[in-house]
Structure 1
Amino acid sequence: MSKSFDVIIAGGGAAGFFTAINIAETNPKLKVAILERGKEVLSKVRISGGGRCNVTHACFIPNDLVKFYPRGEKELKGPFNQFCSGDTIEWFERHGVELKIEDDGRMFPVTDSSQTIIDCFLETSKKLGIQILMGESIQSLYRADSHWKIETNKEVFLADKLVMATGSNPKMWDMLEELGHTIVSPVPSLFTFNIKDSRIKDLMGVSAIATVKVKGTKLEASGPLLITHWGMSGPAILRVSAWGARELFTKNYQFTLQVNWLNDMDADECDEVLKSLKHEHAKKTVSKKSPFDFPNRLWESLVTASGIDIETRWADLTRNQLQALAAQLTNGEFQVNGKSTFKDEFVTAGGVDLKEVNFKTMESKRVEKLYFAGEVLNIDAITGGFNFQNAWTSGFIAAKSIVEEQNI
C-alpha cells in the first residue's frame, strides 16, 4: 500500500525543512512530507558553528554575496535577488528567532544555540502538518506519467512533485544520474593543511594576518592564519582550500605553500624596513621583540630560521642575514603533505551540474517536477554562514515555484 503526497522532500536537513515550511505556509492545503534516512533530522544544523548554528552572513548585496561561492557564483545572482541575507533575518524573526551579528559578519541566534533553529523548524512543521518520516532510506526513484514513485527501505510513496535536498549523498547522486542528470564528481572543500616544519612546531594557537599562495598556481588568499598542532588553518587557509578544491585534489594535497607573514609587504619593502630597524635598534637583541604586528614567538622562530643566533643584536646583522629574514617574513615556503577536515563542517565541491537547473524555479531542466535545494547541487561556499544561505535561498525559490505551479 503506497502513501500519496502533493510534495515529497528527500532529506531532513536545513534545505529540506526550509523548503517544506515555505510550501506549507504558502499553501496549507498541500500535503507535504519529509523523508529522512537517518534516525534524526537537522544533524548538520546541530553541529554547525560549534553548536551555535551560523545561520547566515551580514552581507546584504547579492553581487557581493555571490563572491563567497567558489562554485555557484554566477548562478546564485538571480536567486539572491529573490531571497538574500536580509530576507533570512526577517524570516527567522517572523518565526520567533532573533539573530545577532558578530564582528566578523557571521550571524547566530541570540541564544547561541543551534537547538533554537531546530526547535523553530520542528515546531513550525508540526503546526503546518508536515509529516516528518525518519529511517526512510530511498532505494529507487521513478517518474511515471503523472507522479513520482519513491521506494524506501520501508514503503512506497507517490508524489506529484519531488524536491531533492539530500546534500552530499553519493547514493542519491547515482539515482539522479540514472534519471538523466550529470553529476560533477565530488571532492573535499574547506579543509586545513598538514605541515610538519620546525618553524611552526611549538607554535600551536599562534595566529597572524597573512597572505598565502599555492606555489605554481593562481591560488591566493589573505586573512587570519592559525598555526595548529597538525599544520595551518584559519580563514586564509580555508579560502585557498575552497577555491582550490579541484586543483589541490589533483595534486593529491602535496604542494608548496608560500606564506607572507607581513600580508601585503613584499621582500624589497621588508628589506628596507629591516635596514632601518638595524639602525634604530642597534643595541637591542633581534629575537627579543617582534617589530611587526604578529606574536613574539613566531618572530623568534623566523629569526632562528634565517640563521640568526638568538643573542645577536640588530647592529651585528649581516647583509645575507637581513635578506634571509626578509625572505622568511615575506615568502616562507612550507611543504604541505595532506589535509584535515575543518572541525565537523565537512563541505563537498561537486553535485548536480548547474547547467541542468533552472535557477528561477530550482526545477530540473532534464526531469519534469523535480526540484533541488542546498548542497545536492554543485554549489559550495567558504565558511561563515554562506552554505546555509544557499540552503535558505534555494529552498525558498523551490517552494515558491512549486506553489505557483500548483495554483495554475
Structure 2
Amino acid sequence: MILDTPPPAVRPAPRANEIAYVIRRGDTADQLSRNYLVEGRDWRALLRLARVQNPRRLPTGRQIRIPRNWLRYRIEPARLASYRGRVAITSEGRETSAVIGASIGEGMFISTAANSFATLILADQSRIVLPSQSRVRVRELRRILLTNAIDYRLEVTNGRLETKVQPLEGSSGRYRIETPVSMTAVRGTEFRVSFAAGTAITEVLSGHVLVTDADGQRRELALDPGIGAARDGEGAVRTEPLLPAPALEDPGAVKLDDIVEFRAAPTPGAARYRLVIASDAGFIDNNVEQISEDGHFSFADIPNGNQFARISAITSSGIEGFAQSYGFKRRLASLHASVDTADDGYRFRWWGSGSGARRYRFQLLGDTPGAPPIVDRVGLEQDSLTLHRLAPGVYHWRVGLLQIEADDTVETWTNPEKLTIAAPSRTRKADR
C-alpha cells in the first residue's frame, strides 16, 4: 500500500554540525586546543564555548558543543574487499582498474558496469555493496580525534547502494548517504539507497533512519524498519511498507544444467523481482544479478561450488522489499540427447558439459515411460549407440549420466522421449 505522505514538519537540526564534549578532570583549554582544534582556532574560542575565563580551570562535567569544522580528524580510507566484472575507481579525474585491497579515499568515485559488483569495507567494519550500474562518490571518511567518533559521508550519483552499518558509539558519530535530492542518516542499521530519474529511494531493512532533503536540514522524515520512502527533486515524499521476501521454488535442487534457472513464487504487489547470486552467505562477493518481471531467472556461466541466491520483490513504484537467501549447489553435469535414423536402424546420440569421468547408460523402454527396459546398456564411454531391426511400435528412451570427480559423484537422466516406429506399408499387387 502506498501512502502519499504530506511534507513533514520542518525540524531544523543545527546541532548536527556540532560535537558534544563533556569536560574531564585535568582538561585545560590550551591542551584541548593544541591536540584537537584545527589551525586558526585556539584556547580562547574554547573558553567562550565553556563560558569560563580561567584557561587552567575548566569545570569538570560541563558539556560544551564544538563546531565540527573546528575539530581535527584523521582520514580512514575504505578497502575494496571484492569485485566482479568491470569496476572503475576514479581519483582526480584519473580512472584506474579495480584491485582487491585497493584503498578508497575521500574524493574518489567507484562505479560498476552492467552485471558488475563491488564491496567496500569501511574502517569501522561497516559494509557497502554497489550492485550493477551504480556510481558512488566518497565524500568523507573521517574519525574525529576529540571523541574518536566516525564521520562518514557517501553520495550515490546513480544506481544503488546497499549498506550494513555498525552501531555508532556515542552521540557524535555520523554516517550519511546522500543523493542529489536526499540525505539519509543512520546510527547503525541495514538499508538501501538508490537514485535514478531524479528520484531517491531509501529502504529500511533493520534499525531506524532519518531522511531529509539534500541539504540535510529540511523536511525531516524518520523511517522505521520495513518502510521504504521515495523522494523526488521537488521534495514530494511517498512511503510504503516493504514487500515480504518471496520464496524460491525448489531452491535446494542441485543445479546441473548449462543454464542455472530459478523461479520465484508469486508475491502479491510485486511488479518485478531481483535475484542475486553470490559465493558467500553475506553477499560480499556477488557474482551476478538479474531482474525479472515474471519471477523466472536464467543464468549462464555459473561456476561449480556452493553458491547463494538472494531473492526480493519490487513494487511498481520502484521500492524493493525484504530479501530471502538460499544456499544451493552448482555442479555442471549437463546432458542432452537426440535420435536420428541410420542404415537399418536408429542412432541415439548424447552430449553435455562437465568435468571428471563421465559414463553413460542407455535405456530403451516400452510404450510407457515407466515400462521395464527392453534395452539397458551401462558403463558406456562413447557418445552414441545404434540399435538395428527395431520392431514397429511405440517406445520410450532415455540416457543417464554418472559423473565422477574426486569425492563428488553426480547422477542424472534425460527425460524419457517417445519414439514411434511405423510398420512398413504393404503394396497390393495389381490383378492379372
TM-score range, shorter chain: under 0.3
TM-score calculated relative to the size of structure 1: 0.22
TM-score calculated relative to the size of structure 2: 0.21
Which structure has the highest strand share of the two?
Answer: 2
